[in-house]
Structure 1
Amino acid sequence: MTVATDFVRPVTGETFDALVGTRSGPVAVEFMSYGCEHCRLLEPVLQEVAETLGSQEAVFRVNIAVDQELAKRYQIEGTPTLVMLLNGEEVGRAVGPDPSVKVLWDAVTRPFEELA
């Protein structure tokens, strides 16, 4: 699937801490693999959620096949896994979320709403 605009920013082990770990405010990170069927199903929905969020939250993507150290650091056991961070600290997690806008929207935004 070709995405005209990618609203989910890819990060690697080299760029993660600078772009995600030290970022203030809410961040969602998708840990995925390009060989994962559930990840492919989730992709267009995640793009829609990321586009809707705009500047409210940042959505990033980590390919665990390439960045296994990040997967170990965040104890990722399956894909897709969404990890929500606030000021660099994990505040929520969704493993294998249903690829619907409502479920994904709730998974990404609820941890931040609960802290407010």
Structure 2
Amino acid sequence: MTHIVCPHCQGVNRVPERRLAEEPKCGKCRRPLFNATPIALNGAGFERFITRSELPLLVDFWAPWCGPCRMMAPAFEQAARRLEPRVQLIKLNTEEEQAVAARYGIRSIPTLILFRGGAEIARVSGAMDAAGLVAWTTKQL
């Protein structure tokens, strides 16, 4: 069983690994656990995902004023379609969540951090295209 945090209600769901590709739904809100789109989170939601999800999490630390961040956003969405359900993709606005960005030592954006089991396993800064995002993430896992 794998614990997955719902992107809609943030309920924690237990899903058998063999059923991840079968479009599982949340036991609490009945909405899909995977939407093939990045999940925009605030600080509290980010903490819930980091501490409760057993899936790898690819987090895009970005800001609305950042040109490269805006340029990479469509590629990050394309990567979500290709990486789910193996990886959940998350966007965290560093302008709104400065404490979280400081805790992870975000010095430049966009910065991508790959987490597994709540621990950082890889990091890269700079914009990438969708193929680069998928290749980098797959290589790290």
Name the TM tier (shorter chain).
0.7 to 0.9
Structure 1 unmatched ranges of 5 or more: none
TM superposition shift of 1:103: 1.4
Spell out the pairing of 1:1-116 with structure 2 (5 A cutoff): 7-98=37-128, 100-112=129-141
Amino acid at match of 1:52: R
Local SS of the residue matching 1:45: helix
Q: Is the 8 A contact 2:57 2:89 kept in 1?
A: yes
Q: Is the 8 A contact 1:97 1:103 kept in 2?
A: no
TM superposition shift of 1:91: 0.5
In 2, the alpha carbon distance for the partners of 1:109 and 1:80 equals 19
Where relative contact order (Cα < 8 A, 6+ residues apart) is larger, the structure is: 1
Aligned residues: 107
Amino acid at match of 2:135: D
Local SS of the residue matching 1:71: helix
TM superposition shift of 1:109: 2.2
In 2, the alpha carbon distance for the partners of 1:89 and 1:46 equals 21
Local SS of the residue matching 2:120: strand
TM superposition shift of 1:68: 0.3
Structure of greater Rg: 2
Share of identical aligned residues, percent?
24
TM superposition shift of 1:21: 3.0
Give the TM-score, by structure 1 length: 0.85
Give the TM-score, by structure 2 length: 0.71
Structure 2 unmatched ranges of 5 or more: 1-34
RMSD: 1.5
